[in-house]
Chains A and B, each alone.
Chain A
Amino acid sequence: DIQMTQSPSSLSASVGDRVTITCRASLNVNYYLNWYQQKPGKAPKLLIYAASSLQSGVPSRFSGSGSGTDFTLTISSLQPEDFATYYCQQSYSTPLTFGGGTKVEIK
């Protein structure tokens, strides 16, 4: 199985900050990497697919980069509605696996 490791597991940031979350795969997943945002009591929301493609309707302050084993989700200017938990997921091979999550909290 491909293990997905996110860091950090949590972070505190202020509105307007630039936030970067990293995700490392234990094996090469090429570009088959998705990023999700999840708020308490809600279903996950797809933000980025294929490592760097912005899902329709997602604000352009979200961006993704990377390929192979190392990936990054960047929020260029954190907004109040961005405080949530973020997950990466590889869709390269089954079992599909998620990272452990990064909780973005208000500083």
Chain B
Amino acid sequence: EVQLVESGGGLVQPGRSLKLSCTASGFAFGDYVMNWVRQAPGKGLEWVGFIKNKAFGGTTQYAASVRGRLTISRDDSKSIAYLQMDSLKTEDTAVYYCSTSAFDYWGQGTLVTVSS
């Protein structure tokens, strides 16, 4: 059974950093692109970015709103995708989801609240 479990969310002050994890199981994690998607409270879905699998260079792409502040990485030996969040802003407050390349599997989400 495919499972994605996000962790690492919480309350953080503006300008600080936070690192989210997405722990995968039940599939060949290293073969897949992994996406991050977020949803601000009461708002719609926003794609954050993805990381390609090693066969495609492990490259990343990001939404303009997060480029330069949020960084996606992966550890295929642990089946974990990460979202490093730096210089956080109040507008980064959201539930953050990880999802597989075809968006057919999603985690339960982890809430990040950026507030002083």
Interface residues of A (CB under 8 A from B): 1, 34, 36, 38, 43-46, 49, 55, 87, 89, 91, 94-101
Indicate if the CB atoms of A100 and B44 lie closer than 8 Å. Answer: yes
Q: How far is the CA of A97 from the CA of B44 in the complex (A)?
A: 11
- Kindly report which residue of chain B lies nearest to residue A98, judged by CB atoms: B45
CB of B61 within 8 Å of the partner chain:
yes
Query: Which of B11-19, B77-85, B96-104 makes up part of the contact surface?
Result: B96-104
Q: How far is the CA of A9 from the CA of B107 in the complex (A)?
A: 26
Interface residues of B (CB under 8 A from A): 35, 37, 44-47, 50, 61-64, 97, 102-104, 106-109
- Kindly report which residue of chain B lies nearest to residue A96, judged by CB atoms: B47
Indicate if the CB atoms of B104 and A44 lie closer than 8 Å. Answer: no
Indicate if the CB atoms of B47 and A98 lie closer than 8 Å. Answer: yes
**Please, could you name 16 A-B residue pairs with CB atoms under 8 Å apart, sorted by A?**
A34-B103, A36-B45, A46-B104, A49-B102, A87-B44, A89-B45, A89-B47, A89-B103, A91-B103, A95-B64, A96-B50, A98-B45, A98-B46, A98-B47, A100-B44, A101-B45
